[in-house]
Chain A
Amino acid sequence: MATTKKVSAIKNTPKHLLGIQNLSVLEAKEILTEAKSFIKLNRGSSKKLDVLRGKTQINLFFEPSTRTQSSFDLAGKRLGADVMTMNMGNSALKKGETLIDTAMTLNAMHPDIIVIRHQDSGAPNLLSQKVNCTVINAGDGRREHPTQALLDALTIINRKGNIEGLKIAICGDILHSRVARSNIYLMNMLGAEVNVIAPKTLMPKGIDYLGVKSFTDMKKGLDGCDIVMMLRLQNERMQGSFLPSKREYYEFFGLTPEKLKFAKKDALLMHPGPMNRGVEIDTKLADDINVSLVKEQVELGVAVRMACLKLYCK
């Protein structure tokens, strides 16, 4: 497998990380290998490196975020970069400034990396066409969230050794989920079989073309699965009524210890957070350290983001 010291797949390709769709297998594996090396560092007492010393990283967040934002923040700092986080909220839009104008303003300050989260699908792509620095997508609309998928992959590899040959179920609000899309691409790329499970109203049309099997029944969808990824009901993206009630949703699609039994005995549970306890997941199950990888996902998130920053920053 390629490492940065040998031949880097990433250094020879475009410098932005916009989505898993644009990634090759080599590139994905390179990020994961690099990330592995940071896990130990992050657990140690001295966490600071100087790989990105002198570099400027701007976190441009147009949507509220806790874990992704702090994760990128820490990752940059641990690599020695100067990190500035800007919570744009709607302030820029209210003043009438367009994304491009904001980008050009920031570009004039010569950042080396811009990490962007935006409510519109494709916003990082647009940004990447207009700035001179590296753009890393921290989630755009319902399109992609590449670092989340990469950290999920690292978490699985950390526990199961490998992704190839595993069966992975992604359950919940697939329609509005960028996490689902990025994971579908990445898990497929790494050789897993992917099932998606959702009520019909939350299942996007044409999802089968992405290389998954779709189910509306948890029992069938979870059958034989090694990993169960639960997704949050994205109420803030829902316009109009998609479901009769949260109660009914929990009854049929909420993950309970009973439903988890449909999957393999040693199946593990993942969730990108934040969780709606009692809506998509049983609260005890979420905290069960024998089953739930939720905390590990957050932990490894920092390592994955360090790897991305290091590999993509020029």
Chain B
Amino acid sequence: MKEKILTNVRIIDPSQKMDEIGNIVIDEKGKIKSIGKKLGTSKSVEKIDLKGLVAIPGLVDMKAFVGEPGFEYKENFRTLSQAALAGGVTSIVTMPNTKPVIDNVSMVDFIIRRGRDKAKVNLFPCASITRQREGNQMTEFGLLKARGIIGFSDVNKTIQNSELMSRIMNYASDIDVLIMQHAEDYELAKNSCINQGEVATRLGLQGVSDIAEKIIIERDLSLLSEFPCRYHINQISSKNSLNVIKKNKSNGIKFSTGVSINNLSLNQNDIGEFRTFLKLSPPLRSEEDRLSLIEGIKNDLINVIVSDHIPEDEESKRLPFAQAATGSIGIETLLSLSLELYHNESLPLEKIIKCLTINPAKILKIDKGSLKEGSDADICIFDLEKPWVVKAEELKSKSKNTAIENRRLQGKVKMTLLQGEVAYSN
């Protein structure tokens, strides 16, 4: 690979508190050689003029589902990485709710090998916290970590058993692994498919109160004060939960939190007349909740924005709402939809990018999400102003269940570099 220089580009890198127009020099090994206003040209350099565009570290998406193994008809490594790169995402934390579940060492070897062969992005696989995600017995944290597991998550399942949760935290604290919890009390959430309230009442659907989320967060944070470990709440969805988080953070409890871009950009009214693509977990809640989540990001109560990319085929969505599968795709639209929050003046640009790059990288303890000299040249280059309309059939995911079909967005990825190579451009 030849040395490359990206010129005249607005560089926003929250890890260096940088927002300036300058150049990025990438060396032969695909690392950042220098960044900023200084221009280290030599003759053999490949020059790419990016005037009018923005360069940020490649996005780190902390929650995406890749269909392999078991659900290849929904998504595979190849299609997921194509979608990711088109969305400026260069690092993906993949969920273990595959078939079979990633809960043992041989499965880890399989997906790492498979990902390396088929995917063109950096993959960071998660294993499940409990075997088969059944919430009974913890997996081999130590062995799995040694084989390359980045964190542990039962994805859309919650450890209900408090004793087990305390042991998980206690054990995890000793070997420095990241536990990612989906916060939902099963009994309170039983048979529910939507937020409790007016919309649920009108649609005649079983609603779930936000207390189902809050109660698990409260329990876990109580346990965490006893057994401090690396603990992350995958997706917060309500104002009530944020109040608990605020209280605990001010009491000095250390943990991190995430939110799905869907919960930041949509509310329960968007479900309209049974739009199953907006059946999500945690569910879309009220506008008040949505606004509080934005405040949560402003106040650093929420650290990460995830796509919560869940590809589902048409068959599992074309059912009555209560029976339909949960989740929507979103990795390709993650950045553009996040930029909507900048354009509508909900959040500063730097904050949004922080939640998509350096914050998740720090939580995961990976060397990504930054354009510091010496780091991998994983770079997302986008046009901040470009208007476009989301069309499901144009998205690269194998499944087309986007929650934001026909949404008019502003800001689109122009080019994605992976270790210095142009992996996507349009």
Chain A residues packing against B (C-beta within 8 Å): 21, 98-100, 118, 120-123, 125-126, 140-144, 178, 181, 204-207, 209-210, 239-240
Contact = CB atoms under 8 A, between A and B. Distances in A.
B198 A122 contact: no
B204 A125 contact: no
A126 B273 CA distance: 9
A181 B197 CA distance: 14
A68 to B, nearest CB: 17
Given A98-B319, A99-B320, A122 B203 contact: yes
Given A141-B204, A143-B203, A144-B204, A123 B320 contact: yes
A210 B319 contact: no
A121 B204 contact: yes
Contacts of B203: 121-122, 143
B397 to A, nearest CB: 22
A100 to B, nearest CB: 6
A205 B320 CA distance: 22
A209 B319 contact: no
A101 B253 CA distance: 52
A239 B190 contact: yes
A155 B70 CA distance: 57
A262 B274 CA distance: 40
Interface string B102-116: 000000000000000
A178 B267 CA distance: 24
B322 A239 contact: no
Contacts of B199: 206
Contacts of B320: 99, 118, 120-123, 126, 141
Listed from nearest, the 8 A-B pairs whose CB atoms lie closest are: A143-B204, A206-B198, A120-B320, A121-B204, A122-B274, A142-B204, A204-B201, A209-B198
A158 B362 CA distance: 71
Contact of B201 (A99, A118, A125, A205): A205
Contact of A126 (B198, B315, B319): B319
B207 A141 contact: no
A125 B272 CA distance: 12
15 contacts: A98-B318, A98-B319, A99-B320, A122-B274, A125-B274, A126-B319, A141-B204, A141-B320, A142-B205, A204-B200, A205-B197, A205-B201, A206-B196, A206-B198, A209-B198
B406 interface: no
Nearest to A123: B320
A21 B199 CA distance: 13
A137 to B, nearest CB: 11
Interface of B: 190-191, 196-205, 207, 209, 273-274, 315, 318-323
Contacts of A120: 320-323
Contact of B207 (A21, A118, A205, A239): A205
Contacts of B207: 205
Q: Which of A118, A121, A140 has the most CB of B within 10 A?
A: A121
Q: Which of B191, B201, B209 has the most CB of A within 10 A?
A: B201
Contacts of A178: 204
B211 to A, nearest CB: 11
B201 to A, nearest CB: 4
B204 A140 contact: yes
A29 to B, nearest CB: 23
Contacts of B196: 205-206
B322 A121 contact: yes
A126 B315 CA distance: 13
Given A122-B203, A143-B204, A210-B202, A100 B318 contact: yes
Nearest to A118: B320
A140 B320 CA distance: 10
A122 B207 CA distance: 15
Contacts of A239: 190-191
Contacts of B319: 98-100, 126
A100 B203 CA distance: 20
B315 A98 contact: yes
Contacts of B200: 204-206
Given A98-B315, A99-B320, A206 B190 contact: no
A154 to B, nearest CB: 23
Contacts of A205: 196-198, 200-201, 207, 209
A205 B351 CA distance: 36
Given A121-B274, A122-B273, 16 more contacts: A98-B319, A99-B319, A121-B320, A121-B321, A122-B320, A122-B321, A125-B274, A126-B318, A141-B205, A142-B204, A143-B202, A143-B203, A205-B196, A206-B198, A210-B198, A239-B191
Contacts of A121: 203-205, 274, 320-322
Q: Which of A125, A206, A210 has the most CB of B within 10 A?
A: A206
B274 A126 contact: yes
Nearest to B321: A122
A144 B204 CA distance: 8
A144 B273 CA distance: 13
B193 to A, nearest CB: 10
Given A123-B320, A205-B196, A205-B197, A21 B315 contact: no
B43 to A, nearest CB: 63
A240 to B, nearest CB: 8
B204 A206 contact: no
Given A120-B322, A205-B197, A181 B274 contact: no
Contacts of A210: 198, 201-202
B202 A21 contact: yes
A35 to B, nearest CB: 25
Nearest to A143: B204
A17 to B, nearest CB: 15
A89 B230 CA distance: 50
